[in-house]
Amino acid sequence: MCHRRGANEEKRRQECGWNVAAGHGRRPGSYNSPVANSIAVVEDEDNIRETVAFALRREGYDVRMFRDGLEAWEAFDGRLPDLAILDITMPRMDGLELCRKLRAKSETLPIIFLTSRDEELDRILGLELGADDYLCKPFSMRELTARVKVLFRRLAFLQDPKAQREEAPLRCGPLELDLQRYLVTWNGRPVELTVTEFMMLHSLVRHPGHVKSRKQLTKEGYPNDTYISDRTIDTHIKRLRRKFEEVDARFSAIETVYGVGYRWVSGGPGP
């Protein structure tokens, strides 16, 4: 999502000390100081909306519920929430349109999509909407709250570049993974990944050269979710590769091992 965040931010990120020795990151959720905490849940299914709102409120967030895109958009009235969870198919105004409207107002607002079709996931990924994550229905509430936490943490660091890092980034050749902020650079250039993509990449990079099966990637990409199809994993890997290729046309570090899964070929082409 390089197109989304300005060069300004890129500069800010360069400033905050990347070159620290390699080390392992913490699990999401271990960092616990949400700077911002208002969340908009836009979903036309009453029961899903209410359960999600209930669960997030229990985590201490300020949650507002909306039944469709138009209702949400009118209610925001210029004051955006700190994070938005959007369903895709909704009457009056669907999630895609609302996302576009929100992006026009804010480039950094974290957005999570809830989708109910695999095909839908393919389509919305192709739209380059600049969402920060996607969860397929039926998703697990634990998974959703974990993602929300990660996104708030990423947001906090982006808004306060001076904040000290507790842990060193994971380095592997030209690749650098910042496990606290869920940020990635390749040859020093930032690659904008969704949280799921980041987690899958981390899983691959942690053991360079080792083949990860789709099942393993599912487990690590969606730690709390078990109903993810192999196709969804393939879609994410395809996206990952494309995002790296946008930064470096010669990128080929993610290798498909036919019939088994994927692996990270250590190093890859240097600068």
Partner 1 sequence: MHRISIRLMAFNLLLVFLPVGGILYLGSYETKLLAAQRRALEEQARLLSASLSGYDEPARRASDVLAQRERLQASNEEPVRLRVVGTNGRLVADSLTFSLRTAPPENRARRNILYRTGATILRPVLGLSRLTEPPLAEAGSDQLLGREVGAALRGDVASAERISPDNRSVTVSVAYPIRSGGRIGGAVLASQSTFTILQDLYTVRLGVLRIFLISLVVAIILSFLVGTTIVKPLQQLRVQAGEILDRRGRLRGRFRGSDKKDEIGDLARALERLTGRLDEHVRFTESFAADVSHEFKNPLASIRTATEMLAEVDEPAQRKRFRRMVEQEIARMESLLSGVREVTMIDAQLPTEQRQRVDVAALLGRIVEGFRMRERDRVEIGLETSGEGFDVEASEDRLIQVFVNVLENAISFSPEGGTVTVSVNRNDRKITTTISDQGPGIPEGNLGRVFDRFFSHRPDTSRARTSHTGLGLAIVKATVDGYGGSVDAANNPGGGARFEIRLPAAARRES
For the CB of residue 152, give the shortest distance to partner 1 in the complex, in Å. Answer: 20
Tokens of 86: 């959007």
For the CB of residue 104, give the shortest distance to partner 1 in the complex, in Å. Answer: 24
DSSP line for 180-213: TTTEEEETTEEE---HHHHHHHHHHHHSTT-EEE
Rounded Cα distance between 269 and 254, Å, is: 12
User: CB-wise, 145 or 180, nearer to partner 1?
Assistant: 145
For the CB of residue 115, give the shortest distance to partner 1 in the complex, in Å. Answer: 9
User: CB-wise, 91 or 267, nearer to partner 1?
Assistant: 91
Rounded Cα distance between 38 and 61, Å, is: 6
User: CB-wise, 135 or 204, nearer to partner 1?
Assistant: 135
Residue found under tokens 């570090």: 253
For the CB of residue 112, give the shortest distance to partner 1 in the complex, in Å. Answer: 14
User: CB-wise, 11 or 92, nearer to partner 1?
Assistant: 92
Q: 135, 114 in Cβ contact below 8 A?
A: yes
Burial of residue 162 (number of CB atoms within 10 Å: 0-12, 13-18, 19+): exposed
Tokens of 109: 């607002």
For the CB of residue 153, give the shortest distance to partner 1 in the complex, in Å. Answer: 22
User: CB-wise, 44 or 248, nearer to partner 1?
Assistant: 44
Number of H-type helices and E-type strands within the chain: 9, 12
Which residues of the shown chain bind partner 1 in the complex (CB under 8 A)? 44-48, 50-52, 54-55, 58, 67-68, 91-92, 114, 116-117, 119, 136-142
